[in-house]
Structure 1
């Protein structure tokens, strides 16, 4: 792909936009990086992240007219309905995303993983399995490292493992992973996709260009995901926690196992998994399926599964204070993710929930809160909405917090020995933080402040 002298507009100045701007500028393109946020909203300043030849247009979008640009690259967080994208399409200017652009440069086979929940854990686990097997492996994508920054360093004998989101998949055209996995599909991002039909269609783009030589890993227990099998052009491999499948990755006599051609291959006892919860067992089954179809055998998978302890911000143990465990599940950015977190524990829970709603309904979440949570601490933009759903479900013990620090400290004061203080907001973080990572880090900092206070109080 020849970028020399091409005029490229990059819309959205997050990690993806910055990475793609640097990349195409290094290839000789004339790059304009734009964002609706102004310069003061970025820390560090964008000018320190991109080379001086990248023109920054911030706080507004540049006018897109016929001949003004040769290519428009849209960051995942940018809706495709905004004016510059619509104008580009009107004038026949190609519109793409960082994932599709990076894919066009890829020489290594790709394992791509999507789903409403579990993407990051499963992607990290799959990458670790292959790395532990001695294969040079890149883990990138929606997990935090844009593919474009590393793609040219990996060849045909290596492997790329990608977490891909529905936002990234919206702008794909030729993207074709060797293995595509869909973990589950539950309502999320309906404010962006408009309906469940639109959301499912975006997810299904992960396998749209596959052929009969490729593999699609699907969750048999998730009806929406299972039903996609009839649309898959590749070989479908199901995984299931609940069903004794004739073929696929299953639970068999207490083991994670692969059943293939009427033979069962035990991988690892379920009790040996370090990551807690039924949802993480499903993630392990999916990871095993992705590894198996590319030739990783039982002993190699077991070696990684036995030691894998999860990822930051997903049921991440932070500390124990006076018999109370503090767990960071900031990655619980929708009700279904937080339901899975609540179901992972048998102990009474003090739950911190709230933030910005992404178009979700909290009814089912509230029912699980009623079953699992002793005290609910609500905060953020949709605190009132969560509280109303919880009270309708019969939850009695609810505290409203003024801000994030107030929520953590109120939870601390109310928690009893043997309980878990769980941050699993069921909402996006954007009303208070840049992203869920920042929210999780602040939670951990506040918990460590509480530890220091307890230590000082004993002296």
Structure 2
């Protein structure tokens, strides 16, 4: 679509919405930026810059967007497609795109796109490092860091765009066509937004909907839901597996992470030599190796990257060791499955801080893992009651409910002994108390440093 002269409404004045609005205005579109937040709740300097570019701000309510007769609507991640302006645009057959869909139409670079319920950010960042270490000019962004639209047009065919894509972003794609798509796993998440697990899976599957036989789809062979998607793909499918030796794919064999393709087996690294630890990170590494290999990266270069990649903030991030107690920030554990993986990563006794805003999750399996692995549980936030009921059903009663996040950290400190781990892995979203999971993680780290000072 030629955007010059077109009327475009961008809904959501977050990072990606503002970036999309600026891009469109600079390409001659008549742009309206809409957000239910009022001007006082947004950054004034950013708003002033947008207005200088000729962008009209519609703040404080959604209003009659259809009355503007837009040619295109761009929705930010997390904006429900059921809100009246979006639903009305779709009824009128006005295209509704994510910022990622828009950006993909303006880039010449091949896209390597990662989705899945858990592990997206780590895997995206790891593939980014693999490609940079191998000498590629690499953009890493999408659902993390910088919006894709900010850099898409500058990237050339010899460069590469490594993108994290959420189900929200994929839901509103039309012509989006990665060279390599990765689906790491699928467990129930964002059910409150998608309406059902089937709706969530359908959104994830849009990542490969327009791929063809020249493209690749990398799937987790250990995950039932992702494995089932292979039959729907037109792209070539490559499986990875942590649990099984594959005839073809990326797996662990004879003590090595190996690439098995075209009748050859190429050893890359011993799993214990990978810098980031935990079984979930081995899965992330297997997937990333698959993407790097298909992009032409050598086994030697892959090994170097895996030995040095430090991981990402807020995912099993060590904070401090205070009096023999390790404090770990896993604020990115925003659903039960992510927090189960966090609990599996440590053999030590764990004091777990959990709770926040539920996404309509089932906490049954999480509660079973708590019963098996958690020395004491500190619950906080809106979902504390739901998690409490789930753990009580397992016969686990060593839990404590607190009112504030600060109380949770201090209570965990009081419960911990030398050799224990205090783990923040909430199994919930952060929006009941915080702006984002990053904000929650930063507050946790500040409180831990406060504990160290007061010690």
- What interval of TM-score do these two structures reach, taking the shorter chain for normalisation? over 0.9
Residues 173-252 of structure 1: matches in 2 within 5 Å? 173-252=174-253
- Structure 2 residue 425 is matched with structure 1 residue 453: no
Q: Distance in 2 between matches of 1:299 and 1:434?
A: 41
TM-superposition CA deviations, 1:222-268 (whole Å, max 9, x none): 01101111111111000001111100001011111111233211100
* Cα deviation, residue 51, structure 1: 3.8
- Please, which moves more after superposition, 58-67 or 209-218? 58-67
- Residue 62 of structure 2 is matched in structure 1 by 61
- Residue 362 of structure 1 is matched in structure 2 by 363
* Cα deviation, residue 81, structure 1: 1.0
Residues 273-352 of structure 1: matches in 2 within 5 Å? 273-352=274-353
When the two structures are superposed, what TM-score results if normalisation uses the length of structure 1? 0.96
Q: 8 Å contact 1:39–1:46 — kept in the other structure?
A: no
TM-superposition CA deviations, 1:397-448 (whole Å, max 9, x none): 1111111111111111211110100010000000111110010011111111
Q: Distance in 1 between matches of 2:428 and 2:259?
A: 36
- Structure 2 residue 23 is matched with structure 1 residue 27: no
- Please, which moves more after superposition, 4-13 or 284-293? 4-13
Q: Distance in 2 between matches of 1:202 and 1:134?
A: 33
Secondary structure (helix, strand or coil) at the match of 1:47 reads: helix
Aligned residues: 454
* Cα deviation, residue 38, structure 1: 2.3
- Structure 2 residue 13 is matched with structure 1 residue 4: no
Q: 8 Å contact 2:107–2:154 — kept in the other structure?
A: no
* Cα deviation, residue 39, structure 1: 2.6
TM-superposition CA deviations, 1:141-191 (whole Å, max 9, x none): 011311000111210010000000110000101100000000000000111
* Cα deviation, residue 30, structure 1: 2.0
- Residue 457 of structure 1 is matched in structure 2 by none
When the two structures are superposed, what TM-score results if normalisation uses the length of structure 2? 0.97
- Please, which moves more after superposition, 392-401 or 297-306? 392-401
Q: Distance in 1 between matches of 2:71 and 2:247?
A: 51
Secondary structure (helix, strand or coil) at the match of 1:241 reads: coil
Q: 8 Å contact 1:111–1:177 — kept in the other structure?
A: yes
Secondary structure (helix, strand or coil) at the match of 1:50 reads: helix
Secondary structure (helix, strand or coil) at the match of 1:306 reads: helix
- Residue 13 of structure 2 is matched in structure 1 by 13
- Please, which moves more after superposition, 34-43 or 221-230? 34-43
Q: 8 Å contact 1:22–1:51 — kept in the other structure?
A: no
- Residue 401 of structure 2 is matched in structure 1 by 400
- Please, which moves more after superposition, 432-441 or 46-55? 46-55
- Residue 123 of structure 2 is matched in structure 1 by 122
RMSD in angstroms over aligned alpha carbons? 1.3
Q: Distance in 2 between matches of 1:2 and 1:180?
A: 27
- Structure 2 residue 148 is matched with structure 1 residue 160: no
Q: 8 Å contact 1:66–1:91 — kept in the other structure?
A: no
* Cα deviation, residue 335, structure 1: 0.3
TM-superposition CA deviations, 1:292-340 (whole Å, max 9, x none): 1121121010000011121000000011000000000000000000000
Q: Distance in 2 between matches of 1:179 and 1:47?
A: 36
Secondary structure (helix, strand or coil) at the match of 1:127 reads: helix
